[in-house]
Structure 1
Amino acid sequence: MLLVYTHNISPRLNYIFKHICARVLGFEVKFTTKIEAFIAHDSLKMSYTKQALGKEFFVKSHDILFEQGLSDVDINIQKWGNTKCFFPNGDKSAMPFDIFAASFYMLSRYEEYLPHVKDEFGRFTAEESLAYKEGFLHQPVVDIWAYKFKAALQAQFPKFKFPNKSYTVNPVIDVPCPYNYKLKGLLRTFGGALSDLSKFKLVSLYERFGVLLRFKHDPHDTFKYLLNRQKNVKSNFVFFFLIGQLSTYDKGVSPNKKDFVSLIKHVADYCKVGLKVSYFALDDANRLKREKEKMEDILNTNLEASRQSHSKLNLPETYRNLIALEVKEDYTMGYFNHLGFRAGSCTPFLFYDLDYEVQTPLKIIPYQLMDVALLKQWSLLDKKKVLNELINTIKAVNGEFVPVFHNYTFSEDKKWEGFKELFNLILDSVEAD
């Protein structure tokens, strides 16, 4: 156990130390404001305050962990070995940066509460982030800083045995619509056929009626392939089904269709199933509640996990709505069009509400890759190169790789050529350790 002496055990300090020590590094941490208790402790210990007590392991504290609400934080990015950090500490500290304050800034998504330009869907974009602007979006900096802290502690306390942690893969299968042609209803089917005809898409027209007349397989129905892959690998897939109303942003299948309900139940027999929250339910608590209750009726169990439509998050409202409905996990923390680490981490963390200054029970599972981001790479070789770099980056800190793929990604569509191979490369990366 690590004992931390500090002048003020604030909610922010308690939150970030427990994340870094317990969640990332795997050991217990406790706090004291009493010098006598600190001196008497005969194992791992450090002081986190403005001035060292003596010659102990000391990290000079930044004010952000003892503040409330938002303030104008001065961020000065500097190089630190093969990474970058901010909140420099000076020479007297055992660490050149206050990694706890910097980690809190990243995990709390402090910058997403500050004024910023949103895209056409109302999303916080990668380009607006500190990590993108300063060139460290490709690194899980919070985890890297944590391991630098561990190395410094190990040097000071060589007899202490730190626990080991392993790299894991947690694949997400996003299902905005289970089928390309099936279960769309008469009006949408007729409209789609007319559209194909007017654009002379005769192959699509043939395929559409082939599926509807049941002599062809729906191209987006890749669930048999995915469930077979699940049966043969260590990783546990998480499927997110959209069951919200048809809208401009969401064009799924009605959850009143028996075949769709049967599909969800069948997938739930083998994998974890969560709710893909519809676009308009993001800001509508009543609509969100209806969708959650509908999914619970289908699954016949409490809903545990969610993912937001179009990877849109409005902080803190989105997460507060989920907490109010007792959803336990959310898988939306990432950028749909950029590989990397939105919160600077590949370790799941609890959402900290900056307005209420409280750690919440909602676990955030950040994703580092969405399939569409790989389309930026022209060749399959380039895609593999970028993917392997990402895998190695996450392995270096024994993190959790959460890739997001869609059911249609595994279709025979030329656009997604080679993506089954990329998916298998990710699944096999666990065995390759």
Structure 2
Amino acid sequence: MILVYTHKITPRIRYIFKHLLTRILLIPVDFTSKVEEFVAHNGPKLSYTKTPLGGEFFIKSNPLLFEQGVNDLEITLNKWDEVPCFFSTNLKSAIPFDIFAASFYLVTRYEEYLPHVKDVHGRYSAEQSLAYKKGFLEKPVVDIWAYKFLKLLKEKFPEYECKTRTYNYISTIDIDNAFAYKHKSLIRSLGGFFNDLFKFRLLNVLYRLAVIFNLKDDPFDTFQKILRLKKEYNVKTIFFFLIGDYTTFDTNVSASKSKYRLLIKQMGDYAKVGLHPSYFTMEKAKLLKKEKERLESITNSPVKSSRQHYLRFSLPETYQHLIDLEIEEDYSMGYASNVGFRASTCTPFYFYDLDFEIQTPLKIFPFALMDTTLNDYMKLTPKQSLGRIRDLKNEVQAVNGTFITLFHNESLSDYLRWKGWKRLYESMLKVANS
């Protein structure tokens, strides 16, 4: 256990010290604001305040963790060895930056509470983030800082031994369209048929007819392959099913279709199943509740995990809605346009609500990359994509973090825009597990 002295113990201090010390470094932590208690403590200890008490391991504190609410902060980026960092300290401090305040800024998504221009889907865009602007989006800098801090702490307390966590991998699959052609309503099937015909997409027309008349398998029905690979590579896999009503942005098979309901139940027998709340649930809490209850009626079990469709969420409102519905885990923390670490950490963390200044029970699982980001936004080939995947995985493995990827059942289909991408998922599993 490490004892932290600070002149004022705030919820922010408890939250971020526990993330860095306990969740990343597996070191239990306690706090005191009494000098005599700190002096009497025999084990590892550090002071986090404005001036050192004596010759202890001292970190000069930035005011951020003693404030409330959100202010427009001026951030100057420098380097700690080769790693980008900010909130510099002084010569008396054992480390050159207040990594706890800097980590709080990044992990809580502080900047997303500040005024910003939303993208076409009402999302906070990667391009506005500090990590993107300063070129560290593809590095889990919070975890890197924590391990640099640990090295100095061990030099100060060489007799102290702490555990080391292990790297792990989670594959998540979003089911936006369970089937390309099967089990759609007659109106949708006819509409799609004539649309393809009108645009002279004759191969699509033939493929559609072959699937509807059971001459070919539906191209998006890749579920047995995903389950086979899950078993072969012993991968933890989570399926997020979109079951909202049909809209321009929500085009899945109707949740009233027995074949779709059966598919959800079958996947639930072999893997974890979560909710993929539809496009408009970002601002409609009642719609979110309706979809959660709909999925629970299919699986006959409580829904505890969720990922927003189109990664549409707004802080803190969307997360507050999830908490109200007793959702325990959210997997939406990432960008659609860029790979990397939106919260600059590859360690699952609890959502800290800056409106109410409390740590909430909602656990956030940040993902590092998405198949549509690689293909649609970054315009990479499957070979180039595997290189980026390997780089991100190496960054996570270097800090023994949790590597989370987001793929869709469609990208294993080798059909339409996914032509040539069929083998990438398996190649990624090999890389992630190596």
Q: Identify whether the pair has TM-score above 0.5, normalized to the shorter chain.
A: yes
Counterpart residue number, 1:412: 414
Match of 1:387 among 386, 389, 410: 389
Counterpart residue number, 2:115: 115
Distance 1:304 1:118, change over 3 A: same
Counterpart residue number, 2:280: 280
1:301 CA displacement: 0.7
Partners in 1 of 2:202 and 2:432 — Cα distance? 43
Which residue identity lines up with residue 24 of structure 1 in the other structure?
I
Unaligned regions of 5+ residues in structure 1, if any?
Answer: none
1:233 CA displacement: 2.2
Counterpart residue number, 1:216: 216
Counterpart residue number, 1:349: 349
1:414 CA displacement: 5.8
Distance 1:403 1:351, change over 3 A: same
Partners in 2 of 1:110 and 1:395 — Cα distance? 26
- SS of 2:307's partner is strand
Distance 1:379 1:185, change over 3 A: closer
Distance 1:205 1:144, change over 3 A: same
Contact 2:16 / 2:100 at 8 angstroms: preserved in 1? yes
Q: State how 1:235-254 maps to structure 2 within 5 Å.
A: 235-254=235-254
TM-score, with normalisation over the residues of structure 1?
0.97
Counterpart residue number, 2:297: 297
Contact 1:240 / 1:276 at 8 angstroms: preserved in 2? yes
1:105 matched to 2:101 = no
Counterpart residue number, 2:30: 30
Which residue identity lines up with residue 146 of structure 1 in the other structure?
A
Counterpart residue number, 1:59: 59
1:418 CA displacement: 4.9
Q: State how 1:12-411 maps to structure 2 within 5 Å.
A: 12-375=12-375, 376=378, 378-411=380-413
Contact 2:390 / 2:432 at 8 angstroms: preserved in 1? no
Distance 1:418 1:165, change over 3 A: farther
1:236 CA displacement: 0.8
1:196 CA displacement: 1.3
Distance 1:210 1:420, change over 3 A: closer
Identity of aligned residues (%): 49
TM-score, with normalisation over the residues of structure 2?
0.97
The count of corresponding residues between Structure 1 and Structure 2 is 432
Contact 1:276 / 1:307 at 8 angstroms: preserved in 2? yes
Contact 1:16 / 1:103 at 8 angstroms: preserved in 2? yes
Contact 1:77 / 1:84 at 8 angstroms: preserved in 2? yes
Contact 1:88 / 1:97 at 8 angstroms: preserved in 2? yes
Partners in 1 of 2:277 and 2:337 — Cα distance? 19
Partners in 2 of 1:430 and 1:374 — Cα distance? 17
Which residue identity lines up with residue 347 of structure 1 in the other structure?
T
Q: Which string of whole-angstrom CA distances, capped at 9 and with x for unpartnered residues, describes residues 219-243 of structure 1?
A: 0010010011111223210100000
Q: Which string of whole-angstrom CA distances, capped at 9 and with x for unpartnered residues, describes residues 36-66 of structure 1?
A: 2111211111000111000000001111101
Contact 2:182 / 2:218 at 8 angstroms: preserved in 1? yes
1:338 CA displacement: 0.7
Partners in 1 of 2:234 and 2:57 — Cα distance? 40
Which deviates more, 318-327 or 295-304?
A: 295-304
1:166 CA displacement: 1.3
- SS of 1:148's partner is helix
Contact 1:333 / 1:367 at 8 angstroms: preserved in 2? yes
Unaligned regions of 5+ residues in structure 2, if any?
Answer: none
1:425 matched to 2:427 = yes
Which residue identity lines up with residue 5 of structure 1 in the other structure?
Y
Which residue identity lines up with residue 21 of structure 1 in the other structure?
L
Distance 1:308 1:283, change over 3 A: same
RMSD: 1.2
Contact 1:126 / 1:338 at 8 angstroms: preserved in 2? yes
Partners in 2 of 1:423 and 1:83 — Cα distance? 31
Contact 1:323 / 1:361 at 8 angstroms: preserved in 2? yes
Which residue identity lines up with residue 272 of structure 2 in the other structure?
K
Contact 1:179 / 1:220 at 8 angstroms: preserved in 2? yes
1:428 CA displacement: 2.3
Which deviates more, 174-183 or 377-386?
A: 377-386
1:186 CA displacement: 0.6
Contact 2:4 / 2:29 at 8 angstroms: preserved in 1? yes
